[in-house]
Amino acid sequence: MPVHRIEVAPAPGRADPRGQAAQRQAVALGLSPSAVSTAQVYLLQADLSPGQLDAVRAHLLTDPVTERSVVGAAPAADGAVTVEVHPLPGVMDPAAASVELAVRELLGVDAAAATGLRYDVSGLTPEQAAGLARRALANPVIHRVTSGPFHPAAFPRGSARTEDAGPVALRSAGDDDLAALSRRAHLFLSLEEMRAVREHFGALGRDPRPIELETIAQTWSEHCVHKTLKSTVRYTPAPGHAEGVIDWANRPGHEVLADGSVVITNLLRSTVAAATHELIADGVDWTLSVFSDNSGVIALDDRFGVCVKVETHNHPSAIEPYGGAATGIGGCIRDVIGTGLGAQPVASTDVFCVAHPDSFWHSEGAEPGADAPARPGQVRFIDAARRAPGPLPPGALHPRRTLTQAVAGVRDYGNRMGIPTVSGAVSFDDRYVGNPLVFCGCVGLIRRELVRGSARPGDRVVALGGRTGRDGIHGATFSSTELEHSSADEFAHAVQIGNAITQKQMLDAVLRARDHAQGPLFHAITDCGAGGFSSAVGEMGAALGAEVHLDRAPLKYPGLTHTEVWISEAQERMVLAVPPAGLDALRRICAEESVEFADLGHFGTPGQELVLRWHGAEVGRLSMRFLHEGIPTPTRHAAWPPDPPTPPAPTRAPEPHATTAPPLAAASAPAAPARAATRPHPKDALLELLGHPNIASKHWIIRQYDHEVRGATVLKPLVGRLGRGPGNASVIEPVPGSGRGVAISQGLQTGVGDPAVGGDPYLMALAAVDECVRNLVCCGADPARIAILDNFSWPSCAKPANLGALVRAAEGCYDAAKAYRTPFVSGKDSLNNQLKYTDPATGQARVIEIPFTLLITGLGIVHDIATCVTSDAKSPGNALVMIGRTDVGVGGSHIQHVVGAGALAAALPPAAARVPVTDLRLGPASAGLVARLIARGLAQSAHDVSDGGMLVALAEMLIGGQAPGRPVGAELTLGDDYADPLIAFFGESPSRYLIEARPQDVGQIKAEAAAAGVAATVVGWFNDSGLLTAPAEGLSVLVADAASVWLRPLDW
């Protein structure tokens, strides 16, 4: 059949946002196109008459008001160069799927569709235009780039593969052979684990078949079973290291040995989970499901529960950030759908950790100066001058592309599903260059009687949703090993592109089946995430066994082997345990919602075995007991602290703590000039901090997301009359009209845990929980009704110091959860986050480890959304009250990064070099005090003091309070309570809040604080000057100037 081509472009005089974005990306690469115009390309393979083709063009694909279209390829403007970007064959093309459905509805014709983008670039040579496409507009993992219009004669056809090979000769394999097989086959099992598999099949008297090995590798992967956090760890502190801050002897599962080392049985169960179970035993009665389902569930009220899950999608996002982030948020949404008997997703979150965009040239071959100079008035990242940009490590994507594409992935998936993305954060550190972190979360609403479900013998194994393809194969095992510079080529098959429309249809079908008039049509539901059917069926049938007929699974294209069908991680699929009596009703619902339905087999087999069939023949048989309990559990060795760090140079971020890693700046880059050890002026420091990308406005990201779809958002990420001030947390009302809200926020305090600045992961965990609680409390959440989640993202824990850091962070989670009475209800770990590559200059092996990263996500119940407050300053004449006390330590803070450790050390007392410490009595007491002040209407606005310190927090309040004709300013009067203004202004001590209060309420606030044993100090007054001033310190800054600096750095 012929292939037809249709182009759709903006009509003359209409804006071309894609072209404008491409032009900005070209400028960022140092190119100077005079214009870039774009067109959407549709390729249709079908027998269509000219009239039918024109009907598709005019009535289906073109908006007659804003677009123009043509059949074929329109001529390019004089002098313009045409390049096109199209998905590679086999890559999910969501728009094409929608076109195929629409053509079928319009004409009754089955057509195969593909899409692409055309760029007509003026002012560049063909080579420059092709380079722009390769470096900024396409990813070779999923795209092809063509010069000129792409119009193939026919679409590629899938070819049948040979069936899986016979049994793998494992019983006769030596240790070297086992290790080689594990790596070659992408199993990524340890030698000890491979030996256990060999022993098991030796006892069976046969060798394993490939599908059985793949099933074991998936089930035993770090990604799925969390074997490091669940292992027994022997933790050994360095001689002479003070361990008094942690009470090792009085913790569950901990044994202190005579030599001072500590043996911890099941690190996760003895720390994070232990805190939750102890809190439940001590009266926390509002958790409904913890650590036992796809997400954690807490009570919202007597009828409903709220569930939450946050996961990482780091390795896929390092290779293809758009698809990695989109499928990350899609997978978290499915976790919520797959909780109990099905929850309704109501909100989502995202957090990105990436390298600084201006730290690296845009390609390995770029020369210094290839990037564009700063535009007039452009604020480059404030400490960029301290180190010249260097080349990207081999195998790494440029951080600007990583961030822009990850944002686009979350945006497209969440917006298209109709789920508001309401909360998130971005953290920049050059050590994320080779392994960026993408955290995706989802919040759901579920009726309390539906919180639990389980498969029963005789239930049918039913798959709903997307079709199965080769995309995502080995995703679980790939995510369980370190990245290498060749990973993009070796694991391109692990990349997935999601289709939000398919998932929305599937969600609608699931909710209809859940709410059926005769009761739920299924007994259990889970998503096909990492490991695909292997994981979903294997977990649901762990206690029952299951028989699965893999040939019944709907396929995207022919030619898949049974192993590929079993382990594919193709997106938008759920597995349900359906009683036979419910099959027909479920099948009808799926037909009405245009959702694929497949009856793959049944749960319950003799001996609780997993039996896999292909066209009737048995191709796999495994004991569920061996699969889920047979993994070896060696004792792992941890140590702390690591080798004493070299004092940090005044760079943007501390150098990598990995002893095998070189400095991230290339040897050829010019050395940074030494900085004079002069005391920084508060105004200069404030403006530099406001321009730091960790602190600067994220409005460029936030405004791409729909915050109000579903109509339940009470507080959005940006606040104030102009909607540009940073909020503390977002609040939604899951049950419309109930008046009861859920606040959502995060805590991320990587600097406090960085050993390069004397940090401690234990203190990092305390600070992260404290920050999360502060954010929630500041908007009106009840601190007695906050639940939290942990996401550990760590470099390889094969290194004892890294595992020691993980132990300390987990111990900090235990202590913080107990002190704040915030139970952990779910969580996830992602280990092996590092990039291994060969230095092209020296030929030496290098490793860049990410910094120890712990993300805490929190949900807080707001009993009455009418009491919510925001962070923006409200009225001149009000008092500014600091709640909490300021620690002298500024180690790991942003002021240390922007001024430089040496310069700051010369300006401050020696004690200031240490990281701040969270007080586990004052922290909860301060949170409780602020919550009471808000509930009683004594706080007109509230903002937590975090990154950048008090002066930055106040500037953010004033920026949010600005409105046309309504200047708002503030005058600080620190008094004698603060020994050093730099520490008072810029220290990042935890457990502190800024409260705006009416003058008549100040006395009551101080009395309440005194009763709680918490400091409350009037540190200034709001006025209508439009200035932020501190006369005693010589500080005077126009709020408009501060806003300009704060808004610009990430205004992409």
DSSP string over 530-565 = TTTHHHHHHHHTTTT-EEEEGGGS-BSSS---HHHH
**Do residue 202 and residue 110 come from a single domain?**
no
DSSP state of 650: S
- Which CATH number belongs to the domain containing residue 1006 in this structure? 3.90.650.10
Give the C-alpha separation, 1029 to 1019, whole Å. 12
- Residue 901: per-residue pLDDT: 78
Does residue 634 or residue 364 have the better pLDDT?
634
Q: At 466, list the tokens.
A: 């997307």
Looking at the predicted structure, is the pLDDT value of residue 35 above 50? yes
- Residue 381: per-residue pLDDT: 32
Phi, psi for residue 462 in degrees, rounded to 5: -115, 130
- 962-993, pLDDT tens digit by residue? 999 889 999 999 876 667 889 999 999 999 99
Can you say how many angstroms the Cα of residue 1023 is from the centroid of all Cα atoms in its chain?
Answer: 40
Give the C-alpha separation, 182 to 194, whole Å. 8
Asked whether residue 651 is assigned to any structural domain, the reply reads: no
β-pair partners for 826: 789
Find the range with the poorest average confidence among 49-53, 183-187, 668-672, 697-701: 668-672
Asked whether residue 192 is assigned to any structural domain, the reply reads: yes
Looking at the predicted structure, is the pLDDT value of residue 648 above 70? no
Looking at the predicted structure, is the pLDDT value of residue 379 above 50? no
Beta-sheet strands, E only, within 51-204: 67-71, 81-87, 112-122, 143-147
Single residue among 147, 165, 195 that ends a domain in this structure: 147
**Do residue 47 and residue 112 come from a single domain?**
yes
**Do residue 931 and residue 992 come from a single domain?**
yes
Q: Please state, for a pLDDT cut of 70, what percent of the chain lies above it.
A: 90
Neighbours of 330 (CB within 10 A): 30
β-pair partners for 848: 835
Q: Which is nearest to 311 in space by CA: 987, 893, 974, 828?
A: 828
Q: At 156, list the tokens.
A: 């590629």
Give the C-alpha separation, 638 to 805, whole Å. 8
- 193-216, pLDDT tens digit by residue? 999 999 999 999 999 999 999 999
Asked whether residue 204 is assigned to any structural domain, the reply reads: yes
Tell me what the pLDDT averaged over the chain comes to. Answer: 90
Looking at the predicted structure, is the pLDDT value of residue 758 above 60? yes
Torsion of CA 192, 197, 202, 204, to 10 degrees: 150
pLDDT band at 226 (very low <50, low <70, confident <90, very high): confident
DSSP state of 912: G
DSSP state of 363: S
Find the range with the poorest average confidence among 175-189, 540-554, 896-910: 896-910
- Residue 385: per-residue pLDDT: 36
**Do residue 126 and residue 177 come from a single domain?**
no
Q: CB–CB of 439/367 below 8 Å?
A: no
Find the range with the poorest average confidence among 161-175, 721-735, 787-801: 161-175
Give the C-alpha separation, 850 to 677, whole Å. 30
Q: CB–CB of 288/299 below 8 Å?
A: yes
Asked whether residue 733 is assigned to any structural domain, the reply reads: no
Residue 376, Cβ density class (10 Å: 0-12 exposed, 13-18 middle, ≥19 buried)? exposed
Number of domains in the chain: 3
- Residue 368: per-residue pLDDT: 35
- Residue 380: per-residue pLDDT: 31
Residue 96 sits at the vertex; the CA angle it makes with 95 and 101, to the nearest 5 degrees, is 100
- 438-478, pLDDT tens digit by residue? 999 999 999 999 999 999 999 999 999 999 988 767 655 55
- Residue 387: per-residue pLDDT: 55
- 149-168, pLDDT tens digit by residue? 999 999 987 665 556 678 99
**Do residue 182 and residue 135 come from a single domain?**
no
Give the C-alpha separation, 121 to 132, whole Å. 10
Q: At 149, list the tokens.
A: 């219009």
pLDDT band at 225 (very low <50, low <70, confident <90, very high): confident
**Do residue 186 and residue 133 come from a single domain?**
no
Give the C-alpha separation, 36 to 9, whole Å. 12
Q: Please state, for a pLDDT cut of 90, what percent of the chain lies above it.
A: 78
pLDDT band at 775 (very low <50, low <70, confident <90, very high): very high
Does residue 670 or residue 21 have the better pLDDT?
21
Give the C-alpha separation, 200 to 1052, whole Å. 56
- Residue 316: per-residue pLDDT: 86
**Do residue 98 and residue 191 come from a single domain?**
no
Is the pTM of the predicted complex or chain greater than 0.85?
A: yes
- Residue 672: per-residue pLDDT: 34
**Do residue 193 and residue 110 come from a single domain?**
no
In this prediction, residues 343-362 reach a mean pLDDT of: 92
Q: At 81, list the tokens.
A: 């160069």
**Do residue 940 and residue 1014 come from a single domain?**
yes
Q: Which is nearest to 43 in space by CA: 56, 55, 58, 25?
A: 56
Looking at the predicted structure, is the pLDDT value of residue 483 above 70? no
AA letter at 811: E
Residues contacting 714, CB < 8 A, separation 6+: 731, 732, 733, 741, 862, 865, 868
- Residue 245: per-residue pLDDT: 79
Give the C-alpha separation, 716 to 423, whole Å. 8
Residue recorded with tokens 């070896």: 632
Looking at the predicted structure, is the pLDDT value of residue 496 above 60? yes
pLDDT band at 673 (very low <50, low <70, confident <90, very high): very low
Give the C-alpha separation, 41 to 116, whole Å. 5
- 242-262, pLDDT tens digit by residue? 566 799 999 999 999 999 999
Find the range with the poorest average confidence among 383-387, 529-533, 756-760, 890-894: 383-387
Looking at the predicted structure, is the pLDDT value of residue 708 above 50? yes
Q: CB–CB of 566/480 below 8 Å?
A: no
Asked whether residue 241 is assigned to any structural domain, the reply reads: no
Give the C-alpha separation, 179 to 187, whole Å. 10
Q: CB–CB of 394/840 below 8 Å?
A: yes
Asked whether residue 490 is assigned to any structural domain, the reply reads: no
Whether cis (ω within 30° of 0) applies to the bond prior to 33 is no
Pairing of strands 969-972, 1027-1030: parallel
Asked whether residue 92 is assigned to any structural domain, the reply reads: yes
**Do residue 85 and residue 197 come from a single domain?**
no
**Do residue 920 and residue 881 come from a single domain?**
yes
pLDDT band at 86 (very low <50, low <70, confident <90, very high): very high
- Residue 474: per-residue pLDDT: 63
Q: Which is nearest to 364 in space by CA: 330, 389, 338?
A: 389
**Do residue 54 and residue 199 come from a single domain?**
no
DSSP string for 718-756: EETTTT-EEPS-EEE-SSTTS--EEEEEEEE-GGGG-GG
What domain range includes position 963? Answer: 869-1052
- The torsion region of residue 188 among left (phi > 0), alpha (psi -120 to 50) and beta comes to left
Asked whether residue 269 is assigned to any structural domain, the reply reads: no
- Residue 139: per-residue pLDDT: 87
